[in-house]
Structures are given as C-alpha cells and as structure tokens.
Amino acid sequence: MSLRRFRPDNFTLALLATVLLATLLPCRGGTARVLDGITDAAIALLFFLHGAKLPRAAIVQGLTHWRLHLTVFASTFVLFPLLGLALRPLGHALLTPELYLGVLFVCTLPSTVQSSIAFTSIAGGNVSAAVVSASMSNLIGIVLTPLLVGLLLASHGGGASWRGVLDIMLQLLLPFALGHVARRRIGGWVDRHRPLLGYTDQGTILLVVYTAFSAAVVDGLWRDTPVSALLATLAMCALLLALVMPTLTWAARRLGFSREDEIAIVFCGSKKSMASGIPMAKILFAGQLGGLGALVLPLMIFHQLQLIVCAVVARRYATRAAATDDTLEAD
C-alpha cells in the first residue's frame, strides 16, 4: 500500500505550518491590528465571490428535490446541534470549556460544497442533487448558523453575542448578496477563474487561523490546554461522525431514497464547512480573540476527520457499485 495515500494534502500542511508559525512567532500589538483589518477585508471578498459564483438556477432547482434537501438540512442544522447538546456531560468532563464550545460551534455549521460534491461523485451518487444541497446549505447557513450559535452557545456559557449575529449579516450576508446581484456582470469571469476562489478560500482561512492562534498563544493556549483534552476533542469529533453517518444511511433507506440519493444525503449531511466556519468564528467571537484559537481547534480536527472517513466510505460505495455492475453483466 502506497504511503502517498496517507500523506496530508498541501492545505492541511499549510494549516499545520500556520499554527506552528503562530506558536513560535505570534503577531502582537499594531501588527495584529493591521492583520485583523486585512482579514476582515479578505472575509468580505470571500463571501462576495461566493455570491457571484452561485447561479440563481441552483436556488430555483433546489425546490424540485425538496425531500432530499430537507433531509440534509435536518441533519446539518437539527441532528448535529442535538448531538452536540447530548454530548455536553462528556464535553464538560473531558474538554476545556473553550474546546467544548468549539465542538458545539462545529455542530451549527453548514455543509461543505467542494468535498461533498467530490465524494458524491467518487461514490457514484446524485451529483446534481449534491451541488444544489451543499450550495443551499451554505446559503442558508449564513443566516441560520449565527442564530443557532446565539441560541446554543449563549445559553451554555458561550461568548458569542447577538451583536455578533448582526455583524454576520453585515460582514457576510451583505457581501454575499452584493456578489449575487453582481453575478450578471461578473459571473462569467468568476466561473472562468474558479482557482481564484479556491485561493481566496484558503488564504482567508490561513489568515484567520494565524491571527486567532497568535492571540490564543499570547493568552496561554498551549499552557492552559492539556494534551488529554486535545485527544478527547479528537475522540468527540470522531464520535459525532460515527453517529451521524450511519443515522443518515438508515434514514435515507427508511425514507425510500434511491442509492444515488442516499449517497448525496450521507456526504452532504455529514460534512461541516471550514471555509464558512472559520470566518464566521472570527466575527461571532470577535470580542475574545484569545479564546478563538481553542474554539476553532475542534473545527480543524473535524475537517481532517471528515475527509479521511468520507474518502474511505466513498471508495466502499464505488467498489460495491462496481461489484453489482459486474454481477449484472455476468447474468
């Protein structure tokens, strides 16, 4: 078996390097304030480009396969938050307060777009449904995630405020809406330069991670976070995936979805977006940058876990489908 299969992708390596840089050379004082302003501008640009990228036809098409999309949304915005709350006793016993709030924050986030579509395609699922469902999840998440954060985290000792929810509307939803309005003029250019959006996604995340971890390191993140709590965070993220993915598989079959639709539901409904989550965390928890590093750690851990687990599951779906096709041809 090739070791290359276990090699982290370039972006994961960049994330780890950014955390290491923030640990060894954290930004402080005036430099931190300048980087904070640059990060805010990058976040606004990111969501402007996401708005320009989303075709209006995708929003309209989302209404035609409503049962599938409703199942995905129920998992993303209902099942995950309920599981996060159900794990509260474990979280309080094994994690630091910031890490548990980070796990709760993960549970409120929308689905990913790129990886949901990619894994659905690899597994032989309904790609068009995955495109619409993941895109709609992100669109709805701009509004719904801050509301869930305000309800869940504020009522469980979190630092997010309703002011942060309003800031999301101004700093994320407004650029997104302006970008979507501008799609008629710049949509063609955006579609031709998709790599630009990828670089903007990744660059913005790295900026937020660096500023967040810099503030956290200065505030004593690694001194105050025991290794046992980090391992427990990894275990809790794995437990979330282990609960959600079989539940979605069971629900899709009970509701009578086809195999292709089941695949789209499993991959879209089990994912959480780091591209949306880290910028949202930056705004929602703007008043406590020292704790932001610990709050986004569970998201970074969950992100890597979902890629590893979903890659294995997608290959199994594909192998099963190939075996079925071979059997049919033999008959």
- Convert the pLDDT of each residue in 27-57 to its tens digit: 888 888 898 888 888 888 887 887 787 777 6
Asked if the model's pLDDT at residue 88 lies above 70, the reply is: yes
The pLDDT of residue 1 is: 42
Written as six digits, the tokens of 112 are 């990913």
93: number of Cβ within 10 Å: 9
Q: What average pLDDT does the segment 278-282 reach? A: 84
pLDDT at 160: 52
Which one has a higher pLDDT value, 75 or 174? 75
pLDDT of 289 > 60? The answer is no
Q: What is the pLDDT of residue 288?
A: 59
First to last CA, the chain: 33
CATH number of 10-321: 1.20.1530.20
pLDDT at site 107: 96
Higher pLDDT, 12 or 67: 67
- The answer on pLDDT for 328 being more than 50 is no
pLDDT at 48: 87
Kindly tell me if the per-residue pLDDT of 9 is higher than 80: no
- Give yes or no for residue 291 having a pLDDT over 70: no
The answer to whether the CB of 46 falls within 8 A of the CB of 200 is: yes
pLDDT band at 149 (very low <50, low <70, confident <90, very high): confident
**For residue 298, what pLDDT band results from cuts at 50, 70 and 90?**
very high
User: Is pLDDT above 70 for 158?
Assistant: no
The alpha-helical segments, DSSP class H, found in 75-113 are 80-86, 88-94, 97-108
Q: Which of 144-148, 196-200, 285-289 has the lowest mean pLDDT?
A: 285-289
Q: Which of 19-28, 86-95, 182-191, 270-279 has the highest mean pLDDT?
A: 86-95
Q: CB neighbours (10 Å) of residue 323? A: 10
pLDDT at 157: 54
Structure confidence at residue 177 (pLDDT):
83
pLDDT at position 162 is 58
Q: pLDDT category, 3, cuts 50, 70, 90?
A: very low
Cβ atoms of 81 and 125 within 8 Å: the answer is: no
Q: What is the DSSP string of 29-82?
A: HHHHHHHHHHHHHHHHHHHHHHHHHS-HHHHHHTTTTHHHHHHHHHIIIIIHHH
Domain spans, the chain: 10-321
- DSSP-derived letter for residue 255 is T
User: How sure is the predictor about 319, in pLDDT bands with cuts at 50, 70 and 90?
Assistant: confident
When comparing pLDDT for 238 and 194, which is higher?
238
Mean pLDDT for the stretch of residues 223-250? 92
Percent over 90 (pLDDT), the chain: 26
* Selection from 52-66, 83-97, 115-129, 180-194 with the highest mean pLDDT: 83-97
Which position has the token pair 């809406």?
Answer: 177
